[in-house]
Amino acid sequence: MASFLDAYTAPKKDIPRRAYLTVSTLVGVMIVVVWCALSYGELVRGDFLPTPGAVVGAAISGAGDGSLQENTLVSVIEIMSGFIIASILSVPLGILMGSFKVVEAAIEPVTNFVRYLPVSALIPLLILWIGIGIEEKITVIFIGTFFQQLILIADVSRGVSKDLLDVSYTLGATRRTVVWRVLIPATMPGVMDTLRITLGWAWTYLVVAELVAANKGLGYFILNSMRGLFTDQIFLGIIVIGLLGLLTDQAFKLLRNRMLPWATAT
């Protein structure tokens, strides 16, 4: 027994893949069992906690009339557009900000100011400037993720050992070579982890982005269901967002391992 505990509870020690999947599956099954006990056992009112069957029924109904697929597609387009635009800009700027003090002096004060602003407070201005179309939703997600990405990527770049750069200069590398062949490869594992984390944050801004003047999307679907107290549809929207977030998270882990084979997967 002691050896079993030592094998599976030692810090930083890998466990067999089968054991990993078994534990994850058991936790998921336990959550569903508790949900069933509370809902089917009528320990919680149906207005507050729908049964799994009701949620499945809402999913079948939504898939049958095409509304679920349509709302999901709109949200995926909004999320990925805002996230990709933010990432394209934040990765090079973040690396520069963390590596060159003059860039840090120019960008960091503004970044620290804007990243503490509640995105929801900017929605009236965004509607005034951009309108109520999909562009406004993409901009909300962009603002919510870009400045957070910038700070985190700058911290990753700042954490690259100066000794690593000095050794490269000693071996005859030019400044351009050091930036492209040493600094950027050294930051990329941390950058990919940052993008993976902030993609999760982008999903949390979905409801905020679709808070005003939306007529499609999962955020709109949840808010509209809330007005009618359709908790089964609310749960369906939340579960779909969670599943999409899980899929994108796993895709990022796979992409990191494929693109950065020199970095240890975590």
pLDDT digits (tens, 9 = 90+) for 206-255: 888 887 767 788 888 888 888 888 888 999 999 999 899 889 888 888 88
Note down the domain range covering 36: 2-40
Give the tens place of pLDDT for each residue, 94-131. 999 988 889 889 998 888 888 888 887 888 888 888 88
Answer left, alpha or beta for residue 44, where phi above 0 means left and psi between -120 and 50 means alpha. beta
**Whether the predicted pLDDT of 2 surpasses 70:** no
Cβ atoms of 263 and 189 closer than 8 Å: yes
Question: Poorest-confidence range of 5-19, 68-82, 143-157, 212-226?
Answer: 5-19
Whether residues 102 and 195 fall in one domain = yes
In-domain check, residue 51 = no
| CATH assignment at residue 115 | 1.10.3720.10
C-alpha count within 13 angstroms, C-beta hemisphere, residue 135: 8
Query: Chain centroid to CA 242: how far?
Result: 10
Whether residues 139 and 204 fall in one domain = yes
Q: Give the residue from 252, 249, 225, 227 showing the smallest Cα distance to 238.
A: 225
Whether residues 184 and 126 fall in one domain = yes
Whether residues 11 and 84 fall in one domain = no
In-domain check, residue 265 = no
- Residue 253 and residue 35: Cα distance in Å, rounded? 30
The DSSP secondary-structure symbol of 265 reads: P
In-domain check, residue 116 = yes
Number of domains in the chain: 2
- Residue 79 and residue 191: Cα distance in Å, rounded? 19
Whether residues 253 and 126 fall in one domain = yes
Whether residues 140 and 19 fall in one domain = no
Whether residues 36 and 157 fall in one domain = no
Entry pTM: 0.84
**Whether the predicted pLDDT of 90 surpasses 90:** yes
In-domain check, residue 77 = yes
φ, ψ of residue 50 to 5 degrees: the values are: -70, 160
Whether residues 123 and 247 fall in one domain = yes
Whether residues 173 and 69 fall in one domain = yes
Whether residues 31 and 148 fall in one domain = no
- Residue 170 and residue 12: Cα distance in Å, rounded? 35
Whether residues 241 and 117 fall in one domain = yes
